[in-house]
Amino acid sequence: MDLRFTPDERAFRDEVRAFIADNLPEETRRRMVEGRVPTKEQTVAWQRVLNGKGWAVPDWPAEHGGTGWTAAQRYIFREELQQHPAPQPVGFGTNMVGPIIIAFGTDAQKKRFLPRIRNIDDWWCQGFSEPGAGSDLASLKTRAERDGDHYVVNGQKMWTTYAQHADWIFVLVRTNPGAAKRQEGISFLLVDMKSPGITIRPIITIDGGHEVNEVFFDDVRVPVENLVGEENRGWDCAKLLLGHERTGAARVGVSKERLQRLKYIASQVEEDGRPMIEAQRVREKIAGIEVELKALEMTVLRVLAAGKRSGESRKADPASSILKLRGSEIAQSITELMLEVAGPYAMPSLADPESEDLTNEPDLAPDWAHTIAPVYFNWRKLSIFGGTNEIQRGIMAKAFMGL
Amino acid sequence: MDFDLTEEQRLLQDSVRRTLSDRYDATKRAALIAGTPGWSRDVWRAAAELGLLGLPFAEEDGGYGGGPVETMLVAEAMGEALTLEPWLSTVVLGGGFLRHGADAATRASLIPAVAAGDALIAFAQTEAQSRYNLADVATTARRDGDGWTLEGRKTVVLHGDSADHLIVTARTAGSQRDRSGIGVFLLRADAPGILRQGYRTVDGGRGAEVTLSGARASAVLGDPADGLPLVERVVDEAIAALAAEAVGAMSALHAMTLDYLKTRKQFGKAIGEFQVLQHKAADMMVALEQARSMAMYATMMLDEPPEARRAAIASVKVQIGRSARLLGQHAVQLHGGIGIATEYAAGHYFKRLTAIDTQFGDVDHHLRALAARVSAAA
């Protein structure tokens, strides 16, 4: 047993760190430090910088533009992006539909879509959840009926992140309502968002932000060549995502960066004439979160080391549920403590979350204050999306403890 | 970065587990606790024969040259079996002081005896007022010719009643809570001026009140004017071992709870089919894995420089304490009434896990130490 990264891995970390520092626009970094999501333009510009460097899709096979990095290098790369902070690749393209096309797509699909995903020439969004299909995804109702060379899609998708930015959507649709098992009648389709019959309705979340949407399909015609894998075997595609990048859900780098921000804010806010960072109870709460985060980081490293030993497996693993649970809970606890430290300045609701500029005139609240409560509200999503934490506990009970 | 065990380490783990599981069960354990000395001479002899008692010592001192990983494996196996023997006191604490603080003559006279199972050591550190502050030492050591004479009272000395030697912290200079001016002394437990009052501890172990009235030390360990860094190093090694022991105990208790959930039937089905209980079992698994990660972290940080080592060990003890409390309480709750029945093993694991939090600093103590290190960010 040895905790240290190898000299090569440490040199790699330095290289990544230097590249990010030299190439990421300061404006993008500052926006993220302030607790806001980078704009579409900032995200696209950064992804193209990474693509120019050959680092757009580290996880993909080398023949499709992957870097051939070890699991440890991929971990280091992601952690450096998170801690800087820099925008991470838009997961719906690089982590979801990309790997699915690589695993199940035709040569024509690979040639057509993969290079455009790497460069975000196409922005992808995900059409899985529906009003009646959340945790129970297999109950989805959106229909696709074959009509000559097309499928005709009717139905509604929900919680579609950044559908408003998207050029394409990948959807799970029901192609065989009579299948014996619900999972067996589902197919995986790629749909151009400019297709006639698609309507987007924003869902504004309680922080005031516009991240998610409803997407309606009304007789949308999709060429059959946009079917990925076999008809009625779309559930296999969806399952591929379960085991993909299982350490990503821990978001250790993001939480480390947010802890730095928390300490900065606690240095700005005073209580009884002293910065809050000097208050014993605040320090103990911060230290307590740092312990939890260290334990999570060590668990991530154990998973990485185990993967190195056994070869990468795409099978579900208790570790991915543990990492998702703890990663979301720890991140949420940081936003909660930020809210407590901000005190009365958590209250003013002055800045438009979509605006470029957080300065306000007249000067009614410190600049750091504007995102505190919105991020606290928004990050409740972390224990809901990607399989709620209760679903994760259920997976652990059934699959790994035999209950 | 590597979390794998070597082939030799795997073999060690297997043989320790086998040796202990052959010799321990709930009935035998209860009989040992009720008897004298409160643990098993037979198990101690077997541990000596297996090489466990000489494991961490250098080969030139008569040991087997094991490192922190080997200690972790033994501790974890002892946690699984819920052993009672004075291994932590004699080999980890006593052995730690011998390895890091004793001169060649002392090492030569004691280490072979420890390795053979013939010498037992206890660490007398805690005082009535000190709680977990290692620097709070009121016991005094006074120069007396070419030796030292100790006066004071040490409390909750683990396995102090059966020990052949005591390792005692005492103040040689300064005031009660100064970091400097603390010495570490080796005394024969039967030396004149030592009164020991042994008792059972809540987890089935042994403790003692040790009163020192003009007791003469047989050796000084380390620098008598500045022994605290030595104490901190050895205590950190003991915390790492306790962390591994706790992981072993938690792992056994979790497995026992899962078995119970699968076999106990109520309302016509196994109670493990109830989601509310499944989720508690899942939370126990998370707590266990987080603790396991931190026990490994402790092991790998022991040879780092003191500042980094102490911060790491403090965070490990916090996580272990939190995980053990959650897992222990859930295990008892999921067992229902049988969880608090003395005839059943779960409650005994729960008691040991509870006791571990009180050894060398609880969650609050170490959280306070970590809080002092939190610095403002730019």
**Domains within chain A, CATH numbers bracketed:** 7-89 (no CATH), 124-232 (2.40.110.10), 246-400 (1.20.140.10)
A288 and B367: CB-CB below 8 Å?
Answer: yes
What mean pLDDT do residues A321-336 have?
96
Q: Which two tokens stand for residue B36?
A: 């004298």
On chain B, the residues whose CB falls within 8 A of the CB of A394 are 275, 278-279, 282
ipTM topping 0.90:
yes
Segment holding B115, helix H or strand E: helix B104-116
B278 and A292: CB-CB below 8 Å?
Answer: no
Q: Which amino acid is at A169?
A: I
Q: Which residue has the tokens 């009720």?
A: B34
Residues of B at the A interface (Cβ-Cβ below 8 Å)?
1-5, 69, 258, 261-262, 272-273, 275, 277-279, 281-283, 285-286, 289-291, 293-294, 296-297, 299-301, 315, 318-319, 322, 367-368, 370-378
Residue A318's pLDDT is 74
Residue A327's pLDDT is 96
Residue A306's pLDDT is 81
Instruction: For chain B, say whether A280 makes contact (Cβ under 8 Å).
Output: yes
* pLDDT tens column, B180-218: 999 999 999 999 999 999 999 999 999 999 999 999 999
| Cα of A357 to nearest chain B Cα, Å | 21
HEC-encoded secondary structure of chain A: CECCCCHHHHHHHHHHHHHHHHHCCHHHHHHHHCCCCCCHHHHHHHHHHHHHHCCCCCCCCHHHCCCCCCHHHHHHHHHHHHHCCCCCCCHHHHHHHHHHHHHHCCHHHHHHHHHHHHCCCCCEEEECCECCECCCHHHCCCEEEEECCEEEEEEEECCCCCHHHCCEEEEEEECCCCCCCHHHHEEEEEEECCCCCEEEEEECCCCCCCCEEEEEEEEEEEEHHHEECCCCEHHHHHHHHHHCCCCHHHCHHHHHHHHHHHHHHHHHCEECCEEHHHCHHHHHHHHHHHHHHHHHHHHHHHHHHHHHHHCCCCCCCHHHHHHHHHHHHHHHHHHHHHHHHHHHHHCCCCCCCCCCCCCCCCCCCCHHHHHHHHHHHHHHHHHCCCCCHHHHHHHHHHHHCCC
Picking from A299, A309, A403, the nearest residue to B262 by CB comes out as A403
Q: Is residue A206 predicted with pLDDT exceeding 90?
A: yes
Q: Is residue A337 predicted with pLDDT exceeding 60?
A: yes
* pLDDT tens column, A346-392: 998 876 666 666 565 667 888 899 899 999 999 999 999 988 999 99
B319 and A292: CB-CB below 8 Å?
Answer: yes
Per the CB < 8 A criterion, the answer to whether B115 and B63 are in contact is yes
* pLDDT tens column, B293-329: 999 999 999 999 999 999 999 999 999 999 999 999 9
Q: Which residue has the tokens 């000084």?
A: B220
3-class DSSP state of B269: strand
Q: Which amino acid is at A54?
A: G
CA-to-CA distance for A147 and A156, rounded, in angstroms?
20
Nearest to A134 by CA among A198, A212, A199, A209: A212
Mean pLDDT of chain B: 97
What mean pLDDT do residues B263-274 have?
97
Buried b (16+ CB within 10 A) or exposed e, A147-165: eeebbbbbbbbbbbbbbbb
Angle ∠(B370,B240,A259) on CA atoms, nearest 5: 30
3-class DSSP state of B272: helix
Q: Is residue A312 predicted with pLDDT exceeding 60?
A: no
Phi first, then psi: give them for residue A310, nearest 5 degrees: -95, 0
Per the CB < 8 A criterion, the answer to whether B115 and B48 are in contact is yes
- Long-range CB pairs of B12-15 (<8 Å, 24+ gap) are B12/B70, B12/B73, B12/B74, B13/B73, B13/B76, B13/B77, B15/B50
Q: Is residue A311 predicted with pLDDT exceeding 90?
A: no
Higher per-residue pLDDT: A350 or B281? B281
Q: DSSP state, B273? A: G
Per the CB < 8 A criterion, the answer to whether A1 and B299 are in contact is yes
Q: Return the percentage of chain B with pLDDT > 90, whole number.
A: 97
On chain A, the residues whose CB falls within 8 A of the CB of B7 are none
B290 and A295: CB-CB below 8 Å?
Answer: yes
Q: Which amino acid is at A397?
A: A
CA-to-CA distance for A265 and A367, rounded, in angstroms?
10
Picking from A72, A318, A398, the nearest residue to B1 by CB comes out as A72
Q: Return the percentage of chain A with pLDDT > 70, whole number.
A: 93
Phi first, then psi: give them for residue B157, nearest 5 degrees: -85, 110
Picking from A260, A305, A400, the nearest residue to B377 by CB comes out as A260
E strand map for chain B: 121-124, 140-144, 147-154, 165-171, 182-188, 194-200, 206-216, 219-221, 265-266, 269-270
Q: Is A52 exposed, middle or buried (0-12, 13-18, 19+ CB in 10 A)?
A: exposed
A245 is catalytic: yes
Following CA atoms B182, B187, B193, B197 in sequence, which dihedral angle do they give, to the nearest 10 degrees?
A: 90
3-class DSSP state of B55: coil
Interface list for A 133-192 with B (CB within 8 A) = none
A287 and B370: CB-CB below 8 Å?
Answer: yes
* pLDDT tens column, A261-286: 999 999 999 999 999 999 999 999 99
Catalytic residue among A79, A130, A245, A257: A245
Buried b (16+ CB within 10 A) or exposed e, A281-309: ebbbbbbbbbbbbbbbbbbbbbbbbebbe
Q: Which domains does chain B have, with CATH numbers?
A: 7-118 (1.10.540.10), 123-226 (2.40.110.10), 229-371 (1.20.140.10)
Residue A3's pLDDT is 78
Nearest to A2 by CA among B8, B287, B16, B304: B304
Q: Is residue B378 predicted with pLDDT exceeding 70?
A: no
Instruction: For chain B, say whether A298 makes contact (Cβ under 8 Å).
Output: yes
Alpha carbon distances (Å) from A114 to A56, A124, A266, B157: 11, 12, 44, 67
Per the CB < 8 A criterion, the answer to whether A369 and A293 are in contact is no
* pLDDT tens column, A53-94: 999 999 899 999 999 998 889 999 999 999 999 998 888 999
CA-to-CA distance for B212 and B124, rounded, in angstroms?
11
**A with B: how many residue pairs have Cβ under 8 Å apart?**
147
Per the CB < 8 A criterion, the answer to whether A61 and A102 are in contact is yes
Instruction: For chain B, say whether A326 makes contact (Cβ under 8 Å).
Output: yes
Per the CB < 8 A criterion, the answer to whether B137 and B128 are in contact is no
Q: Is residue A125 predicted with pLDDT exceeding 70?
A: yes
Q: Which amino acid is at A110?
A: K
HSE value, Cβ hemisphere, 13 Å, CA-based, for A17:
9
pLDDT band (50, 70, 90) for residue B376:
confident
CA-to-CA distance for B113 and B119, rounded, in angstroms?
5
Nearest to B83 by CA among B52, B40, B114: B40
Instruction: For chain B, say whether A304 makes contact (Cβ under 8 Å).
Output: yes
Q: Which two tokens stand for residue B156?
A: 């909750």
Phi first, then psi: give them for residue B365, nearest 5 degrees: -60, -50
Per the CB < 8 A criterion, the answer to whether B323 and B288 are in contact is yes
Concatenating the DSSP letter of every residue in B169-219 gives EEESSS-TT-SSSEEEEEEETTSTTEEEEEEE-TTS-EEEEEEEEEEEPSE
Residue A88's pLDDT is 86
What mean pLDDT do residues A102-117 have?
97
Q: Is residue A151 predicted with pLDDT exceeding 90?
A: yes
Q: Is residue A315 predicted with pLDDT exceeding 60?
A: no
Phi first, then psi: give them for residue B269, nearest 5 degrees: -150, 165
What mean pLDDT do residues A189-207 have?
97
Residue A362's pLDDT is 63
On chain A, the residues whose CB falls within 8 A of the CB of B311 are none
Residue A244's pLDDT is 61
Phi first, then psi: give them for residue A382, nearest 5 degrees: -60, -30
Q: Which amino acid is at A318?
A: P
Q: Which two tokens stand for residue B33?
A: 């606790």
Q: Is residue B134 predicted with pLDDT exceeding 90?
A: yes
Q: Which residue has the tokens 């620097």?
A: B135
CA-to-CA distance for B271 and A302, rounded, in angstroms?
32
On chain A, the residues whose CB falls within 8 A of the CB of B282 are 321, 392-394, 396-397, 401
| Cα of A265 to nearest chain B Cα, Å | 8
Alpha carbon distances (Å) from A266 to A77, A259, A276, A366, B192: 29, 10, 5, 13, 57
Point out which residues pair with B8 in neighbouring strands: none
pTM, rounded to two decimals: 0.95
Alpha carbon distances (Å) from A51 to A47, A56, A116: 6, 4, 11
pLDDT band (50, 70, 90) for residue A245:
low
Concatenating the DSSP letter of every residue in B236-267 gives HHHHHHHHHHHHHHHHHHHHHHHHHHHH-EET
